[in-house]
A and B are shown apart, each in its own frame.
Chain A
Amino acid sequence: MTGDAVIKVEDLHTGFGDHLVHDGLNLEVRKGEVLGVVGGSGTGKSVLLHCIIGLKKPWSGCIEVLGQRVLDLEPPERSALEARWGVLFQDGALFSSLTVAQNIQVPLKEHLNLNQRLMDEIAMIKIGLVGLPPEAGRLYPAELSGGMRKRAGLARALALDPEILFLDEPTSGLDPIGAARFDALIGRLRKTLDFTVFMVTHDLDSLNAICDRIAVLADKRVVVIGDMQQMLNERHPWVLEYFHGPRARSAGLLKPGR
């Protein structure tokens, strides 16, 4: 395996009550790649994301992000590490009492000491980067459409120019055109801002469009990880059904007649 691992998950066990979600899960995310995590409902994709960013404590195992063990960090070190990643939650998770521009400034205020003018300017740049019109900065989350909320959430995740971007189902709830635009946006931003992406998704189109590698969660662990060609050659029953089903066909993954 080449390339530095920015996220390393080793022998992870998590669960709720007496229900085991991950049983000895291992995963490595390389620097600069876009990793798509797929799996059936309830296989623990979001739980894995929550473990890595520290919202859920696993039962046992080791998680390293950017060379630091997230589970053993003291609060100040944690906060410093959190400034180096950005998270986009499913529906944006914008603070509803703040405008979009203020939402973007929350991490700036929390981690840095910048003057208000500079923060306003940086917020405007981020708003432009994610493809929102300048007027959107003054709007409240309730006044935005679903697609705009995701973009605003992405702008907030990008506020500190993170090294890793976590995306939780970024295209769910968007129409196909909006989803394709969002995929293109992530691809373009990655070229400019040079970050690593960890993306939980169901969307075969975005897996095909922007992911360098795909990790499949099934049977409580990562059963296979690799590029799209490897997925198509894999014989695991779930992978077979997922990447060879009718939806995969319509996403253009398979050549007709195959």
Chain B
Amino acid sequence: MAEESTSTTTAHQTQRNPAWVKFNNGGMIELGGCWTISEAERLDKELMVIHDGASTKFIFNLSGLERLDTAGAWLIHRTRKSLESGGAEVILEGMKPEYGILLDEVAANDQSPPPLPHANQLLEWVAHTGEMTLDALARARDFLGFFGLVILTLSRSVSHPARLRIVPMIHHMEKVGLNALPIVGLISFLIGVVIAYQGASQMKQFGAEVFVVNLIAVSILREIGILLAAIVIAGRSASAFTAQIGAMKVNEEIDAMRTLGLDPIEVLVLPRLLALVLAMPLLAFFADMIGLLGGGLMTWIVLDIRPDQFIERLSDAVSLWSFWIGIIKAPFFAVIIALVGCYEGFQVGGSAESVGHMTSRSVVESIFLVIVADAIFSIFFQLAGV
């Protein structure tokens, strides 16, 4: 029975009469039906017909109205206002009292948006560029300050080794190092394969296939192994550091730490930094080996150079230095990634949105800085003659 009564009310509600407006002679205007927002677009067009020149006196008869909402009331109010501003007299009649309240409310809130300040495009562009430059400089100075603070905290911690937090450090080593092995390995292997394959097809043209081994060894050991590892870690761990610290910042955990006498740098940054500095050379070594494995496998398949020949050729092609150059860079890159990741985490402002913003920024910045550092290293090693 309850079923029936509800279905009839639904039917009743859907049977609303559509809104209508009728223009009679002598400025008599009749309105009726449901003046609601779903009819507003049509009514908006129909009301355009009324001109203030048509008559000096308009009478709106609202007795046919069945429903009125804010949008309908606004249309009536707007029409009345434009007629009155044209010097005509407007009278509303046949109106239910509740419509009167709504019309008054709408009239009271008739506010046009304040005009936008006039902007000079060129000036704005120049100002924007200047702002961005100053902002970038300020952030660079800030980052340098953060770097100094971390060094200071680190030296203090080293002189009191009991203050170093070993357990969190091991935890982060597992997170950033051990758990990254599969992805770093896979990427290095595939890049090794690609270099061997592309190298082989080029070298064949000169009949110098055997130099593919030199190509693989030098490029992977000196540059690609460590660079790949660093980029993967920047994507994986810099973002994770920023998000972790940023979420703590949003949650006011960092402030809580300070009031409890804990140093956020010591508690949050140092374990991450040290973990990454220790894990990165190991990851680089792993990437080197897997990259060589991929390259070796491909030379065997494409050029028919057997593994024992490959290894023999390898020891001729590269000195131990080529290997060390890759590994030496690892801790430097680790410092860059960890510092950028943690720094951007501390830059997170109140909202959850800014965590996302800072996370993407930390990935982009850490990859950029790693590549800049790599370029500086390669110039340095060139000058040093290794």
Q: Say if A and B assemble together.
A: yes
Contact A115 B44 (CB under 8 A): yes
Contact A115 B70 (CB under 8 A): no
Chain A at the B interface: mostly helix, strand, loop or mixed? Answer: helix
Contact A67 B10 (CB under 8 A): yes
Interface residues of B in 86-105 (CB under 8 A from A): 98, 101-102, 105
A67-B7, A96-B353, A128-B111 known; A118 vs B44 contact (CB < 8 Å): yes
Report how many residues on chain A are interfacial, defined by Cβ distance under 8 Å.
34
Identify which of A67, A137, A161 contacts B70 (C-beta below 8 A). Answer: A161
A115-B41, A121-B78 known; A129 vs B105 contact (CB < 8 Å): yes
Confirm or deny: A113 has a beta carbon within 8 angstroms of a beta carbon on chain B: yes
Contact B101 A191 (CB under 8 A): yes
Interface residues of A in 29-85 (CB under 8 A from B): 64, 66-68
Nearest CB of chain B from residue A135's CB, rounded to whole Å: 6
A67-B6, A122-B71 known; A194 vs B353 contact (CB < 8 Å): no
Contact B114 A134 (CB under 8 A): yes
A125-B110, A138-B113 known; A193 vs B353 contact (CB < 8 Å): no
**B residues within 8 A CB of A67?**
6-7, 9-10, 13
Which of B6, B44, B110, B114 is the most central at the interface, judged by chain A CB atoms within 10 Å of its CB?
Answer: B6
Q: B57-92 toward A: CB 8 Å interface, digit per residue (1/0)?
A: 000000000000111001000100000000000000
Contact A128 B113 (CB under 8 A): no
Contact B113 A120 (CB under 8 A): yes
A112-B37, A122-B37 known; A192 vs B114 contact (CB < 8 Å): no
Q: How far is the CA of A124 from the CA of B78 in the complex (A)?
A: 13
Contact A161 B105 (CB under 8 A): no
Identify which of B41, B78, B109 contacts A113 (C-beta below 8 A). Answer: B41
**B residues within 8 A CB of A193?**
69-70, 102
**A residues within 8 A CB of B98?**
194
Q: B1-16 toward A: CB 8 Å interface, digit per residue (1/0)?
A: 0000011011001000
Confirm or deny: A240 has a beta carbon within 8 angstroms of a beta carbon on chain B: no
Closest B residue, CB atoms, query A84: B13
Closest A residue, CB atoms, query B12: A67
Closest B residue, CB atoms, query A80: B14
Q: How far is the CA of A64 from the CA of B78 in the complex (A)?
A: 38
Contact B41 A118 (CB under 8 A): yes
A121-B74, A161-B71 known; A114 vs B109 contact (CB < 8 Å): no
Contact A112 B6 (CB under 8 A): no
Interface residues of A in 181-235 (CB under 8 A from B): 191-194
Which of A67, A128, A160, A193 is the most central at the interface, judged by chain B CB atoms within 10 Å of its CB?
Answer: A67
Identify which of A64, A129, A160 contacts B37 (C-beta below 8 A). Answer: A160
Closest A residue, CB atoms, query B11: A67
Contact B114 A135 (CB under 8 A): yes
Confirm or deny: B38 has a beta carbon within 8 angstroms of a beta carbon on chain A: yes
Nearest CB of chain A from residue B26's CB, rounded to whole Å: 29
| A–B Cβ pairs within 8 angstroms, 7 of them | A4-B9, A64-B6, A114-B41, A124-B112, A125-B109, A125-B110, A128-B108
A residues lining the B interface (CB < 8 Å): 4, 64, 66-68, 96, 101, 108, 112-115, 118, 120-122, 124-129, 134-135, 137-138, 142, 158, 160-161, 191-194
Instruction: Supply 7 further A-B pairs (C-beta < 8 A) apart from A122-B70, A134-B113, A161-B37.
Output: A67-B6, A68-B10, A124-B113, A125-B109, A125-B110, A138-B116, A192-B101
